[in-house]
């Protein structure tokens, strides 16, 4: 999501801005030391719509890629609510790319069911 920046300082200033306005928060750190960010949907939609749009585009693209590679299926109920069914490999990829909300990881983890 922050890959479009050529200058690391510029990227850090933008991240700090998003942190300051409450559009993102740091929720942990990956094994490699990189920060794990979470977006506050309501705040981000209002205060940083460009960030929310970039996030939605990223998630949509990654989910389509998983589906096209047979790593995820989507089922819809009669009210068109989507249920995502991941293969074990698909789940690991989705988790590593940050497209599964942290609070949902245990609920969706195919190894836990």
113, part of any domain:
no
What is the reported pLDDT for 110? 52
Is 2 contained in some domain?
Answer: no
86 phi and psi angles, rounded to 5 deg: -95, 145
Per-residue model confidence as pLDDT tens digits over 73-102? 999 999 998 888 999 999 989 988 888 766
In a domain, 19, yes or no: yes
30 within a domain of the structure (yes/no): yes
Q: What is the CA radius of gyration of the chain?
A: 16
78 within some domain = yes
Residue 86: partners with Cβ closer than 8 Å, 6 or more residues away = 66, 71, 72, 94, 108, 110
Q: Is residue 61 part of a domain?
A: yes
Asked if residue 3 belongs to a domain, the reply is no
Instruction: Report which DSSP code applies to 79.
Output: T
Q: How far apart are CA 88 and CA 54, in angstroms?
A: 27
**Domain total of the chain:** 1
Q: Dihedral through CA 43, CA 108, CA 28, CA 11, nearest 10?
A: -60
| Residue 100: partners with Cβ closer than 8 Å, 6 or more residues away | 91, 94, 108
pTM: 0.74
Note the pLDDT tens digit of each residue in 22-71: 999 998 888 888 888 888 888 899 999 999 999 999 999 999 999 999 99
Q: How confident is the model at residue 113 (pLDDT cuts 50, 70, 90)?
A: very low
- The boundaries of the domain holding residue 94 are 8-108
pLDDT tens digits along 97-110: 888 766 565 555 55
- Tokens linked to 40: 């506050």
Q: Is 104 left (phi over 0), alpha (psi -120 to 50) or beta?
A: alpha
């Amino acid at each position: 999501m922050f890959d479009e920046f050529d200058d690391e300082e510029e990227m850090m200033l933008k991240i700090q801005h998003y942190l300051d306005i409450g559009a993102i928060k740091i929720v942990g750190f990956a094994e490699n030391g990189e920060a794990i960010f979470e977006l506050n949907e309501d705040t981000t939609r209002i205060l940083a719509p460009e960030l929310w749009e970039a996030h939605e585009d990223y998630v949509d693209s990654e989910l389509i890629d998983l589906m096209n590679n047979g790593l995820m299926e989507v089922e819809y109920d009669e009210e068109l609510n989507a249920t995502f069914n991941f293969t074990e490999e698909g789940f690991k990829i989705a988790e590593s790319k940050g497209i599964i909300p942290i609070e949902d990881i245990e609920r969706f983890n195919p190894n836990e069911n």
